[in-house]
Amino acid sequence: MSDPALANQLREKIISDPEMILDDRDLMNALIAANEAAMGTNIVDLRGVAMQRLETRLDRLEDTHRSVIAAAYDNLAGTNQIHRAVLRMLDPHEFADFLKALNTDVAQTLRVDCVRLVLETQQTEDDPALRKLGDVLCVAEPGFVAEYMSAGYSAQPRPVVLRQTQPQSAAIYGETASWVRSEALMLLDLGKNRLPGMLVMGAEDPHQFKPSQGTDLLAFFAGVFERAMRRWLG
C-alpha cells in the first residue's frame, strides 16, 4: 500500500477487530490464495485444502437449510388451504349446495380447475334426481373406481393417486376432459354396505399433480369429505 498512514490505520483496525476479516469469506479466500502463491507450487497447504472442503460442506448445508425452510413454508401454505376448503365445504345445508360449493369455492380455495364426485351405483345418469345435481356428480357402475384409480392394473389402488389424466377420463370430466391434464384421485369409504366413491380434482397444468408429491394433506381432506358424505347419505 503506497500510503503508510493509511496502511498503519488499516493494520490497527484489523488488530483491534480481527473478526472483520474472519467473517468475510471473500477476504479470507484472497488471503489464503496469496499465502499459497507465496509458498510456491511445491508446497501444499493442508489447512487451505481443509478450509475449502469445509466451505463446500457449509454451502451444501446452507442449500439444504434453505430447501427445508422453503418446504416448511409450502407445507404451511398447503395446510392453510386445506383448512379453508374444509370450512367452506361444511357450510352448505343442502346436498345440492354442497356439490355446487365443491366446484366453485372449494375448487378456487384449493387452486384446482374442477372437482368431481364419483359414486358407484346401480342407477343410471338418466335419473332425473341425479341430473338436478349438475356436472359435479358422476355415477358409475360398480368396480369403476378401483379400475380407474389403478389405471387398469390388478394391484389394489392407493388411497390417494396423483398423476396425469388417463384416456378414459372423459367418463369423469365430460367436455372438460379436453383440457384437464393432471388429477388427484381420492378413494372414499362411504360406510358399511355402501359402494366406494372417489373424489377427483383436475388441473389444466399437467405438472400440478405428480406421483412424487406428498399426499398427507389430500388424505386428510378426503377423510373429512367422506365423513361429510356419510351424513348426507344417511
pLDDT tens for each residue of 198-209: 999 999 999 999
The rounded distance, in Å, linking the Cα atoms of 86 and 82 is 6
Domain spanning 68-233: CATH 3.30.110.30? no
Residue 18: φ, ψ to 5° = -65, -25
Across the chain, how many H-helices and E-strands are there? Answer: 10, 5
Sheet of 160-164, strands arranged across: 137-140, 114-120, 197-203, 182-188, 160-164
How is the chain split into domains, by residue range?
A: 4-43, 68-233
The rounded distance, in Å, linking the Cα atoms of 29 and 48 is 9
Helix H or strand E segment including 41: none
pLDDT tens for each residue of 79-113: 888 899 999 888 888 888 888 888 889 999 999 99
Q: Please, what is the end-to-end C-alpha distance for the chain in angstroms? A: 88
Query: Mean pLDDT in the chain?
Result: 80
Whole-number CA gyration radius for the chain? 30
Q: How confident is the model at residue 38 (pLDDT cuts 50, 70, 90)?
A: low
Nearest C-alpha neighbor of 199 from the set 154, 148, 164: 148
Is the separation of the CB atoms in 182 and 205 below 8 Å? yes
The angle that helices 216-233 and 46-89 make with each other, rounded to 10 degrees, is 10
Is the separation of the CB atoms in 200 and 118 below 8 Å? yes
pLDDT, average across residues 112-128 = 77
Does residue 35 register a pLDDT over 70? no
Nearest C-alpha neighbor of 145 from the set 180, 106, 185: 185
pLDDT tens for each residue of 46-55: 566 666 777 7
145/67: higher pLDDT: 145
pLDDT of amino acid 203: 93
The rounded distance, in Å, linking the Cα atoms of 108 and 16 is 60
